[in-house]
Chains A and B, each alone.
Chain A
């Protein structure tokens, strides 16, 4: 039973991070390899707001979320907007470089030590007992709930919201969308903002659950196979992929070798690329859009 809980929690983490990859890819065909670092930045922002609003956890968390939305929009406006129209690969390399820059800046501003925003906020993380004999920490449960809420919200927005439909339209045919009066830069900025927001929520919750360490960027990168296995332009695929990768990782740690944990997501990725590169739910034509 504990195994199932572990899988669900890990899958929820990966899913919450993966939807950030999917949002940006679906709308602009860019793979945001700085997502892990942006996630970390969200957690560090929480640390800062936690020390400023140490008495009011709700305000601290909300402030950090709003800040991360702004960061995402700024990243688009200051950097990624200049890469629109260039080769997709150049844009991806720009995100890689951005990730490196952010990592260096974060160490400079906040130092490389392990941090505990939960302590700064005075929040504890007790383990909850679940029916069936398993245990889950409070914040791990929060992660699962947050993932469900975020996915529900995104799904409703993209399916039924006017700007959600417009975002999907821009993802399919930016030219036609521009003809229909949609300001492409606004839509891309919105995608980047939303993606950074969801990533930051993931980062914050992970930091509240188990502390802010260097390994958070690695978690961010490990979530990418989840997005790809499901199909880089499908939210549903990200959920499915997260479950697959999470299950593979937990099971291989349990039954094969604990050291495999960092490599298993990439083995799943390789298997997916060999068998079905466009993912379980992705659109097949994605493959040729280089």
Chain B
């Protein structure tokens, strides 16, 4: 695992409908081969950040109005989604993640990767990483269960031969055992293919189990970041995201509402 920075986001600002600022000055970094987790509750700006990375903002009348997103030194903000996919970033979306009227095999045939990167993992790798899909090869994708659909979505994204995989809310609507299984396979894929991943999750426990580094977002700002061990040990994270009470001391309202911030991140 090298320490070269693959993706750098610098003071990103995203505005919806020219009036609502969903993301206010977020900076983050993904080093090659890392799994980075972005945590936060609803409305924190996680999905918006991910959409800014994958070129999806136009659909919701949103724009990156400030800050930069650089992939391997090349700026990619406000570009169309197919261009970004061809540059090496693939997204596993939160909703609408497969083509429901096509079969599993056809779903896996649709991704298009430029020939320069079309080496290595092919459909065989996907069937090897997700053996259930191999059995369902000719089944209609719309009839798959939630977990199988998620596997198909990850597989399709992998077939875009990305350098960076963005996973949006993997755990939504899935049983905990299925979530753990999927997370493990993500780690396995990272081990075998060396792909960098950014995982956006509400389920902080599952995310921190597999991530190397994490960012916590709230109200469009990054309030905390650090490697996953530190985050898991952090009192506030334990209390607000992991559901573990902090000792016996009573806390006043004022202290509860303040985060003890560690060092600020500078680009």
Contact = CB atoms under 8 A, between A and B. Distances in A.
B45 interface: no
B82 A176 contact: no
B111 interface: yes
Interface residues of A, number: 18
Interface string B88-127: 0011010011111110001101111110000000000000
B86 interface: yes
Interface string A155-176: 0000000100110110011011
B54 A182 contact: no
B82 A175 contact: no
Interface in A167-225: 168-169, 172-173, 175-184
Contacts of B82: 178-179, 181-184
A165 B93 contact: no
A83 to B, nearest CB: 16
A165 B109 contact: yes
Given A172-B100, A184-B82, A179 B93 contact: yes
A255 B91 CA distance: 61
Interface string A108-132: 0000000000000000000000000
Contacts of B91: 179
Given A172-B99, A173-B96, A180 B80 contact: no
Classify chain B: how many residues form its interface, as a range. Answer: 20 to 34
A176 B112 contact: no
Interface in B105-153: 106-107, 109-114
Nearest to A163: B112
Tell me the dominant secondary structure on chain A's binding face: helix
Contact of A179 (B85, B102, B106, B113): B85
B33 interface: no
B99 to A, nearest CB: 5
Contacts of B106: 165, 168-169
Interface string B160-179: 10000000000000000000
Contacts of A168: 99, 101-102, 106
A176 B86 contact: no
Contacts of A180: 85, 90, 110-112, 156-157, 159-160
A181 B102 contact: no
Contacts of A176: 93, 96-99
Interface string B229-260: 00000000000000000000000000000000
Interface of B: 54, 56, 59, 80-82, 85-86, 90-91, 93, 96-102, 106-107, 109-114, 156-157, 159-160
The 10 closest A-B pairs by CB, nearest first: A181-B85, A181-B112, A180-B111, A178-B81, A178-B82, A169-B110, A165-B106, A181-B160, A182-B112, A165-B109
Given A172-B101, A172-B102, 15 more contacts: A162-B109, A166-B110, A169-B102, A169-B107, A169-B110, A173-B96, A177-B110, A178-B81, A179-B81, A180-B111, A180-B160, A181-B85, A181-B112, A181-B113, A182-B82
